[in-house]
Amino acid sequence: MIAVLVVFCEVAFWVLLAVGLALRYVARKPRLGAAVLLCEPLLEVVLLVVTVIDLRNGAEPDWKHGLAAVYIGFTVGLGHHTIKWVDARVAHRWFGGPPPVKPPKYGMARAAHEWRTAARWILAAVVALGLLQAAVWYVGPGDGTASLQGWQQKMGLVIGINLIIAGGYTLFPKRAPKDAVTEREPADRL
């Protein structure tokens, strides 16, 4: 049941996003669209409550309970950014909005962008780790928590990978090609 609910929450996330953007741009009701988008966190609350109830009723913790915690963490860490990303592209593509801002390609500006991206992923993993640890404490010691602890190791890996990527862009910043035009140095016009 938990796995089905996770899938339902993911589908509902995108449905609410589409409805919220349709209300905002098509129906020209930005406040109502924003209200619909603000309902998205309720999906995670429902998933959390159902997962806790399932564990309280004696369900053996398994990969589905871990998946629920990870889904909630990733929605907390990445959900807002995903909504903004989709909103900017929908506004530009179909409703005459400004083009979305592209991330910088070179130098420390790119490194800063990578650290912001890493921070979102790390937040997601930390929230998931916290929920997984709460589930481990709630269930109690024993072999039943092995799947939850496996998910914790995966979240540690997510944190490590993001630190390596962002650190790599900081220690080895990508340099602009010599013939590339940068924002500070406009090309000569012929």
Question: What pLDDT score was predicted for residue 179?
Answer: 81
Q: What is the DSSP letter of 29?
A: -
- CB under 8 Å to 83, separation ≥6 — which residues? 17, 37, 40
Q: How far apart are CA 160 and CA 171, in angstroms?
A: 16
- Asked if residues 129 and 45 have their Cβ atoms less than 8 Å apart, the reply is no
Banded model confidence at residue 94, pLDDT cuts 50, 70, 90: very high
**What token pair was written down for 43?**
């999906």
Q: Which of the two residues, 138 and 144, has the higher pLDDT score? A: 138
User: pLDDT-derived band of residue 185, with 50, 70 and 90 as boundaries?
Assistant: very low
Residue 59, classed as helix, strand or coil, is: coil
Lowest mean pLDDT among 60-64, 72-76, 118-122, 129-133: 60-64
Q: DSSP 3-state assignment of 170?
A: helix
pLDDT band at residue 189 using 50, 70 and 90 as cut-offs: very low
C-alpha pair distances (Å), 146 with each of 36, 63, 115, 149, 150: 38, 9, 32, 5, 6
For the chain, give the percent of residues with pLDDT over 90.
81
Q: Which of 90-104, 143-157, 175-189 has the lowest mean pLDDT?
A: 175-189
For residues 9-14, give the mean pLDDT: 95
Rounded distance, CA 169 to CA 96, Å? 34
Chain segment 143-163, per-residue pLDDT in tens: 678 999 999 999 999 999 999
Domain ranges of the chain: 2-171
Beta strands per DSSP E along 17-148: none
pLDDT digits (tens, 9 = 90+) for 13-30: 999 999 999 999 999 999
Quote the mean pLDDT of the chain: 91
CA 5 – CA 60 distance, rounded (Å): 17
